[in-house]
A = this chain, B = another copy of it.
Amino acid sequence: MVTAAMARTTLCVCVCLLASQVATSHVPEKINRTIHNLLQHYIPARERFKGQPVFSRDLLGTKLEAKEVLLSAALQTYEELIQRMLKELPGDESADVRADLSYVLERVQHLRRFRFQEQDKLLEGLHTFQHIQVDNELIRSKALWELPWLYEEASSLANKRRQRRRRKAKWPRTFQTESEAH
């Protein structure tokens, strides 16, 4: 009986360890392998490490919300990049390269569409605001007309943020005083 219980416990521990290992791995092994194949097909390693990286890690060292928006933009760039690579692939190119690129594209699209919907919506809004036709006279006049409420929104939001920060900075001291009083 003791041996059977021990065996069950050992089995449970093994399953738990395996599950935790699976849970901490976010990149499917197939992606790493596929990217490795693609890199071998494209440019040799010595070229790859020249100069600055494309996606700077420093830029991503920011607070959670900003990091999510930046990662969403990076995934969007990867989608465009791989789609172009697929489009420019010669017809006689190995079917393996096409399959590899398609697989990586599918994983990137899946991650972006199912996990970064909120950030994608923000990026769409930014695109609209950043691509306003500032040369068009009617657009200029309408934009000027809309400036007072937008200025009001921006100023009040900035003030709210500052007040919130001040409250947050004060909070532990107040809390300590209250705790001491009780």
Give residues in A with beta carbon < 8 Å to B: 26-27, 31-32, 35, 38-39, 42-43, 47-48, 50, 53-56, 59-60, 62, 64-78, 80-81, 84-85, 104, 107-108, 111, 115-116, 118, 121-123, 125-126, 128-130, 132, 134-135, 137-148, 150-159, 161
Contacts and interface: CB of A to CB of B under 8 A. Distances in A.
Contacts of A47: 138, 141
A6 B76 CA distance: 66
A168 to B, nearest CB: 14
A77 B137 contact: no
Contacts of A147: 31, 35, 78, 104, 108
B152 A27 contact: yes
A169 B76 CA distance: 30
Given A56-B128, A80-B134, 16 more contacts: A26-B159, A27-B155, A35-B148, A38-B144, A42-B137, A43-B137, A55-B129, A62-B121, A65-B65, A65-B66, A66-B125, A70-B122, A73-B129, A78-B143, A78-B147, A116-B154
A46 B7 CA distance: 83
Contacts of A138: 43, 47-48, 50
A78 B59 CA distance: 26
8 contacts: A35-B145, A42-B144, A48-B145, A54-B132, A70-B126, A71-B150, A78-B147, A81-B143
Contacts of A156: 26
A74 to B, nearest CB: 5
Contacts of A108: 147, 151
